[in-house]
Amino acid sequence: MTQAIDEIGLDAWRAFITAHAAVIGAIETELAERNLIPLVWYDVLTVLSEVPGRRLRMGDLARRLVLTRSGATRLVDRLESAGLIARERAPEDRRGAAAVLTPRGAAALRKAWPVYAGGISRLFLAPLAPSEINLLATALARVRDHVDR
Partner DNA sequence: GAAGATTGAAGCATCAATCTTT
Partner DNA sequence: AAAGATTGATGCTTCAATCTTC
Note the residues at the interface with a copy of itself (CB under 8 A). Answer: 1-5, 8-13, 15-26, 66, 110, 113-114, 117-118, 120-121, 123-128, 132-144, 146-148
CB of 88 to DNA, least distance (A): 10
Question: Smallest gap, in angstroms, from Cβ of residue 40 to DNA?
Answer: 5
Shortest distance (Å) from residue 65 CB to DNA: 9
Whether the CB-CB separation of 58 and 139 falls below 8 Å is answered with no
Q: Which residues, numbered 53-92, are part of the site for DNA (CB under 7 A)? A: 57-60, 67-78, 87, 90
Helix axis angle, 39-49 to 69-81, nearest 10°: 90
Residue 27 carries which side chain, given as an amino acid letter?
I
Single out the residue of 96, 100, 115, 125 in contact with DNA (rule: CB under 7 A): 96
Give strand pairing partners of 120.
Answer: none
Applying CB under 7 A, which residues contact DNA?
40, 57-60, 67-78, 87, 90, 93-98
